């Protein structure tokens, strides 16, 4: 057998083996290569559309989520718990869906996740009690397997050297969905006041929730017709032993002090950031307010769309050039420092211009920090544990998303509306200290 590493090596190896042709000139090899290229071309565009529509539906409910909970008479602490319940359900079930998809394939799990999203959004929009609101949100978290399963599908159909490009395509879909979704949610909330239906008059947030459910149903139908399976039958259920070996390799890799510090940096940063995310809409309502509540939701939707635009612009290529010029460690510290400054200034904002200025700093800080810490973790991990180390960092971020909203809501309610941001700034400063300890 000849290894197809480079043309020169392949030609030498084939000559030694007595072959007069390069490996890819063999008809069978050419057919396999063509099939792989065709499968990649079929899967990636459908995955892009699937993830994009999924994120649009997810983003639609962001601008009014806190206000929807308040309409049931709940306070900020309950808003935080609702957001944490989604993250907790996703934290628990995402690895389960990943293991199942290794056995049955990616397509069934994607379809099941979209079906669960339809049910979750529908129940969330039609909930008549706070308890049903929690059930709908938890259901969304349980079936929130679209993105990790789509990432696994990209890994199935791309060569290692092309994988970053494939993951970047999914990242673009996520960013674009997060830009359009919140803005659309704000518009739909306003539209509820125009459409004269008893359901929407009683619950103005039902329309955007049902729109998210309709998008998920459309996404489900399109994926059922157009999405092929990416994981071949031969590769299913064959990596149990590999998973166990990865756990052993991961424990060895985390023995490195620099790696542990980087994971701690990411956790502290995300903990402070998610405290802000959970309470920002409530803070805007308290600090700025609006005579027309529907107009407030629309403007909040535009604000989140603005944040999405900045993050997409940064991660679309600017971060790479800045990292080359200044180094990833400096970029990480600068991003966290910018986040800390924006969080510390947020309690002083008394107008939309002040809110947008702080949001600009938060978006830039997050956009600089997240790719930098991921790159540093992968570089500091041993070569055979890089994937596992990145997985641990994502688990740390997921844990922060579970704890952060609940902590932020409690601080907002029990201490002061600006308390989550002061504490978040302190956590960011602690992350900077850890990042400077020779990471």
Q: Which of 102, 106, 112, 135 is nearest to 39 (CA)?
A: 106
Contact residues for 310 (Cβ-Cβ < 8 A; gap 6+): 360, 363, 364, 367
The mean pLDDT of 361-376, rounded to a whole number, is: 87
- Given pLDDT bands bounded at 50, 70 and 90, which one contains residue 15? very low
Whole-angstrom Cα distance, residue 190 to residue 179? 18
Task: Report the pLDDT value the prediction gives residue 8, as an integer from 0 to 100.
Answer: 43
Instruction: Between 213 and 172, name the one with better pLDDT.
Output: 213
- CATH code of the region 245-439: 1.20.1250.20
One fold for both 43-225 and 245-439? yes
Tokens, residue 31: 């057919």
Task: Inform me whether the pLDDT recorded for 244 exceeds 80.
Answer: no
Domain map (residue ranges) of the chain = 43-225, 245-439
DSSP one-letter code for 25: G
Tens digit of each residue's pLDDT (9 = 90 or more) over 263-305: 899 999 999 999 999 999 999 998 887 667 778 888 899 999 9
- Show the DSSP H helices in 158-205 as ranges: 163-191, 198-202
Reduce the secondary structure of 119-140 to three states and give it as a string: HHHHHHHHCCCHHHHHHHHHHH
> Which homologous superfamily is 43-225 in?
MFS general substrate transporter like domains (1.20.1250.20)
DSSP line for 275-292: HHHHHHHHHHHHHT--SS
Whole-angstrom Cα distance, residue 239 to residue 245? 10
The mean pLDDT of 241-259, rounded to a whole number, is: 55
Whole-angstrom Cα distance, residue 387 to residue 390? 5
CB 113 within 8 A of CB 97: yes
Tokens, residue 122: 């529908």
- Given pLDDT bands bounded at 50, 70 and 90, which one contains residue 44? confident
Q: What is the CA radius of gyration of the chain?
A: 23
Task: Inform me whether the pLDDT recorded for 237 exceeds 90.
Answer: no
Reduce the DSSP state of residue 37 to 3 states and report it: helix
């Amino acid at each position: 057998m000849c290894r197809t590493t480079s043309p020169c090596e392949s030609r030498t190896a084939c000559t030694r083996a007595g072959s007069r042709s390069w490996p890819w000139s063999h008809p069978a090899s050419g057919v396999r290569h063509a099939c792989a290229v065709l499968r990649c071309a079929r899967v990636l565009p459908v995955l892009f559309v699937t993830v994009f529509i999924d994120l649009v539906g997810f983003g639609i409910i962001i601008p009014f989520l806190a206000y929807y909970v308040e309409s049931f008479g709940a306070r900020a602490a309950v808003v935080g718990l609702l957001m944490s319940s989604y993250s907790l359900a996703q934290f628990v079930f995402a690895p389960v869906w990943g293991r199942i998809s290794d056995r049955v394939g990616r397509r069934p799990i994607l379809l099941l996740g979209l079906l669960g999203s339809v049910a979750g959004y529908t129940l969330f929009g039609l909930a008549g009690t706070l308890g049903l609101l929690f059930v709908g949100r938890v259901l969304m978290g349980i079936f929130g397997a679209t993105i990790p399963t789509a990432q696994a599908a990209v890994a199935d159909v791309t060569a290692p050297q092309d994988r970053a490009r494939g993951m970047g395509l999914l990242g673009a879909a996520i960013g674009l969905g997060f830009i359009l979704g919140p803005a659309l949610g704000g518009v739909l909330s306003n539209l509820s006041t125009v459409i004269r239906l008893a359901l929407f008059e009683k619950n103005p947030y039902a329309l955007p929730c049902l729109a998210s459910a309709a998008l998920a149903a459309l996404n489900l139908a399109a994926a059922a017709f157009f999405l092929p399976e990416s994981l071949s039958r031969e590769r299913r259920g064959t990596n149990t032993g590999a998973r166990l070996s990865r756990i052993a390799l991961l424990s060895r890799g985390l023995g490195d002090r620099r790696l542990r510090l980087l994971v701690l940096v990411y956790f502290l940063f995300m903990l402070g950031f998610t405290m802000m995310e959970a309470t920002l809409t409530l803070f805007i309502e308290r600090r700025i307010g609006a005579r027309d509540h529907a107009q407030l939701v629309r403007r909040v939707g535009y604000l989140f769309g603005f944040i999405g635009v900045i993050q997409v612009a940064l991660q679309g290529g600017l971060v790479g050039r800045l990292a080359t010029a200044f180094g990833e460690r400096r970029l990480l510290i600068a991003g966290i420092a910018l986040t800390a400054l924006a969080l510390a200034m947020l309690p002083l904002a008394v107008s939309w211009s002040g809110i947008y200025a702080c949001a600009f700093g938060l978006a830039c800080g997050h956009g600089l920090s997240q790719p930098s810490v991921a790159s540093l973790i992968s570089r500091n991990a041993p070569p055979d544990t890089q994937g596992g180390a990145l997985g641990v960092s994502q688990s740390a971020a997921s844990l922060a998303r579970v704890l952060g909203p609940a902590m932020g809501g409690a601080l907002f309610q029990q201490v002061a509306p600006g308390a989550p941001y002061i504490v978040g700034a302190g956590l960011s400063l602690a992350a900077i200290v850890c990042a400077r300890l020779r990471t």
